[in-house]
Amino acid sequence: MYSDPKECLYCQNNEAQHNLMIEIAHLTVSRVFLFKEQTYRGRCLVAYDKHVNDLNELSDDERNAFMADVARVTRAMQRAFNPEKINYGAYSDKLSHLHFHLAPKYIDGPDYGGTFRMNPGETYLTDAEYDQLIAEIKKYL
């Protein structure tokens, strides 16, 4: 299924997007967001700048630049939060804009050893707590 850029969560920068995530930074070819639902402390999302449906649509240079941005974010998350592992998710079944979910996993934390849940709806923070997480990530970006 291919999505229309006029209806795309990442292209439209609309209220639906703002209800789910907070933009942290613009990188080389992508935008980085903090997920508001924080069951996985420090969970982020990296979305490609342009509306492409899949990683295989990018040239080698574009793909390498995008994956470098993804790696840059995971390095920052690792330094900021020290998770045991960071899970990567690139599903796009219903919204075909290239993006990666980055979910930190902690040994005694939710779903360790299994697949992270897309939106468990269990943990929301105060604005000050979101600001603190964002500051920690930005410090290492």
Residue 88: its pLDDT value, please? 97
Say if residues 84 and 106 touch (Cβ distance below 8 Å). Answer: yes
For residue 37, give every residue at least 6 positions away whose Cβ sits within 8 Å of its Cβ, in sequence order, or none: 20, 43, 119, 120, 121, 122, 123, 124
Distance, CA of 95 to CA of 87 (rounded, Å): 20
For the cut 80, the answer to whether the pLDDT of residue 94 exceeds it is no
| pTM metric for this prediction | 0.94
- Beta bridge pairs of residue 22: 34
What does the mean pLDDT of the chain come to? 94
Distance, CA of 33 to CA of 87 (rounded, Å): 16
For the cut 80, the answer to whether the pLDDT of residue 141 exceeds it is yes
For the cut 70, the answer to whether the pLDDT of residue 1 exceeds it is no
State whether residue 47 is helix, strand or coil. Answer: strand
- The CATH code of domain 5-140 reads 3.30.428.10
Q: What mean pLDDT do residues 86-105 have?
A: 90
Domain ranges across the chain: 5-140
Q: Encoding tokens for residue 34? A: 């903090």
For the cut 60, the answer to whether the pLDDT of residue 128 exceeds it is yes
Which stretches does DSSP call E strand in 9-126?
Answer: 21-26, 30-35, 44-48, 85-89, 99-105
Q: What mean pLDDT do residues 21-37 have?
A: 98
- Beta bridge pairs of residue 101: 45, 89
> 7 pLDDT band (50/70/90 cuts)?
confident
Check residues 8 and 22 and name the one with the higher pLDDT.
22
Distance, CA of 137 to CA of 91 (rounded, Å): 24
**Chain-centroid distance, C-alpha 14:** 17
Instruction: Read off the pLDDT of residues 30-87 as tens digits, 9 standing for 90 and up.
Output: 999 999 999 999 999 999 999 999 999 999 999 999 999 999 999 999 999 999 999 9
For the cut 70, the answer to whether the pLDDT of residue 140 exceeds it is yes
- Return the percentage of the chain with pLDDT > 70, whole number: 99
Q: Encoding tokens for residue 62? A: 């574009």
